[in-house]
Amino acid sequence: MLTVLIPAHNEAGQIEETLTSVFGQTLAPDRVVVIADNCSDGTVKVSQVMGARVFTTVGNRHKKAGALNQWLNVHLGKLRPDDLVMVMDADSILERDFLRNASSYIAKGYDACGGVFSGKSGGGFVGMLQRNEFARYARDVKRKHGKTLVLTGTATLFTAACLQAVVEARKNGQLHRRGKGKHRTSRQGEVYDTQVLTEDNELTFALLHLGFKIIAPAECTLQTEVMETWRDLWKQRHRWKRGAIENNVQYGLTRYTAKYWGLQIWGFLGIVVTAIYLTTTVWALAAGQLHFYVLWVGVTIFYALERAITVRRRGWKMSLLGAILLVEMSFDLFLQAVHLKAFGDAICRTKRAW
């Protein structure tokens, strides 16, 4: 049996488009369940008209993770180990062969198959920058033959067996690594940890530490919503960054988290290099003593070329725009500021903003 789960909170404006993409798959799911979480709009009615089953949460205070857990707590134990469960966001649009392609990788021995997403239209300038960013992410995953850091919540197909194993591991304390206080892993024996900011990242860690195989192949594509304002983008990325840092601390340094720690360190080094680059440039301009040094000229050229080449799948116009230093560097500076703030908040354990 193949079940598609779509947690939704007031998604009446786009749930029809999402469900159309699910019901239009070349491999039809056996059931599609919209998990209506504290909805006050027409999400339930639209979902029912479209032919989906609706599961309504009761008293959920843990957002997406809690909504999914309520359904999984009731139904996961009834599934056979080889049954499949797709979890996807209510703002995602699957390409027609997504489920067929993902299922083929499960048949090859993988336990979970994540999607590779591009951005929907909209959002103006900030939306365009996100679509470029997503294109670079897709290129990177393809070059790594599907090796991925996280099973994205936009759309991932799991075997029931691996999710059932996570539940048992949480019950017996196998995944309670370095978890204390408000950052501890869930002890209720549920699939999703409701104590973390990034439940998908934490679930990826859990699966890896239990020895399951994951992949995000280039054939499993979808579109997802982009943030339409800088404010919304800041909130989203701050949650992602802080959640990833806290997940690292939660699991400690292991053979599976080493590369994640490495990426955090690499990101911090990037902030330092950028600060030095901009400081020396501004100082030289202010002092009227601008000199061209081979090192920094080389860094500038390399950065511009890398920005242009890595986004060429979006066309020559985006490649040309990507080569413009001020455009791409402004976005990188924004993301680095988010990273720095998230790092500081994680260290100081400031109050979380969901």
Closest among 23, 166, 30, 36 to 85, alpha carbons compared: 30
pLDDT, tens digit, for every residue of 270-329? Answer: 888 777 777 777 777 777 776 666 776 787 788 888 888 899 888 888 888 888 877 888
Domain ranges of the chain: 2-251, 258-348
- What is the C-alpha separation between 175 and 89, in angstroms, rounded? 26
pLDDT, tens digit, for every residue of 54-100? Answer: 999 999 999 999 999 999 999 999 999 999 999 999 999 999 999 99
- What is the C-alpha separation between 301 and 323, in angstroms, rounded? 9
Q: CA dist 202 to 151, 267, 339, Å?
A: 10, 20, 18
9 pLDDT tier (thresholds 50, 70, 90): very high
Closest among 248, 150, 273 to 196, alpha carbons compared: 248
Class of domain 2-251: alpha beta
How deeply is 43 buried, as exposed, middle or buried, from its count of CB atoms within 10 A (0-12, 13-18, 19+)?
A: buried
Q: The whole model's pTM is what? A: 0.89
Residue 352, pLDDT > 80, answer: no
